[in-house]
Chains A and B, each alone.
Chain A
């Protein structure tokens, strides 16, 4: 518990955000992938159910963790060092998101131009592209939180 006491409140919140993102991603994506690959045209209802459950899971986890941290102490406004950490981490997260989107644009364009060569992943699978973009968003958020935590632990 000394480890937690030593942290700034913002650092605890970042750990919580990273944990929630990780749990929700690990819950949602394997199930969603199984649904997408199912040889069945009627996956919409199941997919909506999964989205609902994952959203509730994320909200409940976040509420519990943030309530615990609120008991530990109120969060003050970010100071200049914390703002610098956030700016650097945001830059890295944005960079990762850009790379992923550019690769996806390339894949989409290439698979239209040379269909026999660019078949992996099969982007014609329904709902695959929105899921790839969702994954990119979550991964970029996790990179942002993870890097910010790294700066907090390093101290500068």
Chain B
């Protein structure tokens, strides 16, 4: 399955945030649940603005939510 090289911890962060649902997080950042699901499954790279919004919901810095592995550039 082709996706994006950007990895994320959204699933774990949702679980730690009182098991927040995808729909609830999607509503808070202004996207559809399907889009949030695609981001979480690393199938879609969000814009920088959306990535910041997601990080803000969890009260985390951006790089605690999204990571770009060093080997991905080669």
A residues lining the B interface (CB < 8 Å): 8, 11, 76, 79-82, 152, 155-156
Contact = CB atoms under 8 A, between A and B. Distances in A.
Interface of B: 2-4, 30-35, 37-38, 41, 43-44, 46-47, 50
14 contacts: A8-B34, A11-B34, A79-B30, A79-B31, A79-B35, A80-B46, A80-B47, A81-B44, A155-B34, A155-B37, A155-B41, A156-B3, A156-B4, A156-B38
A152 B47 CA distance: 18
Contact of B43 (A8, A80, A156): A156
A42 B58 CA distance: 71
Contacts, number: 35
A5 B5 CA distance: 30
Contacts of B37: 155
Nearest to B35: A81
B32 A79 contact: yes
Nearest to B33: A8
A80 B31 contact: yes
Contacts of A82: 32, 35
Given A155-B44, A156-B38, A8 B32 contact: yes
Given A155-B43, A156-B3, A81 B30 contact: no
Which of B2, B35, B46 counts the most chain A CB atoms within 10 A?
B35
A155 B38 contact: yes
Contacts of B4: 156
A95 to B, nearest CB: 22
A11 B44 CA distance: 17
A76 B32 contact: yes
Which of A76, A81, A82 counts the most chain B CB atoms within 10 A?
A81
Contacts of B38: 81, 155-156
Contacts of A156: 2-4, 38, 43-44
